[in-house]
Amino acid sequence: MFTFTYQSKQTQTHKLKKPMIKSINQKPRELSKDLTGPEGNAFCLLAYAKSLSKQLSLDFKQIQVEMMSGDYENLVNVFEKNFGEYVTLYR
């Protein structure tokens, strides 16, 4: 833990317990999908994958073929493989 010390104009010493600048690795993921609700529907995940592929300049057709090549678990695993860095999935 970092401890920063500074003096105010009234010459009091204050200690801050948290650093002001954090590592980028500490930034929480903002995008998330609940697989137990409507967002977990296979067609919703495919649509979301299409949108993300476009935004990330990825080949959606190739990802789509891989996502649809198996059961629902395969679809989720392929989604996680391609977009897990950007989206948090919850079960």
**39 alpha carbon, distance to own chain's centre:** 15
Q: Tokens at residue 64, please?
A: 């789509």
Answer whether residue 11 is part of any domain: no
Render pLDDT for 41-50 as a digit per residue (tens, 0 to 9). Answer: 999 999 999 9
**Is the pLDDT reported for residue 88 higher than 60?**
yes
Q: Could you read off the pLDDT of 25-72 as tens digits, one per residue?
A: 766 657 999 999 999 999 999 999 999 999 999 999 999 999 999 999
The two three-digit tokens of residue 11, written as one number: 């010459």
Instruction: Map tokens 């500074």 to a residue.
Output: 6
Tell me if 15 is assigned to some domain: no
Residue 13 lies in a domain: no
Structural domain includes residue 50: yes
47 inside domain:
yes
Nearest to 43 by CA among 70, 67, 69: 67
Work out the pLDDT band at 8, boundaries 50, 70, 90: low
Structure tokens at 17: 């317990």
Q: Is residue 18 part of a domain?
A: no
Residue 85 lies in a domain: yes
For residues 38 and 9, which has the higher predicted lDDT (pLDDT)?
38
3-state DSSP: the chain helix, strand, coil percent, rounded to 5? 45, 20, 35
Q: The domain containing residue 65 runs over which residues? A: 24-90
Number of structural domains in the chain: 1
Q: Is residue 76 part of a domain?
A: yes
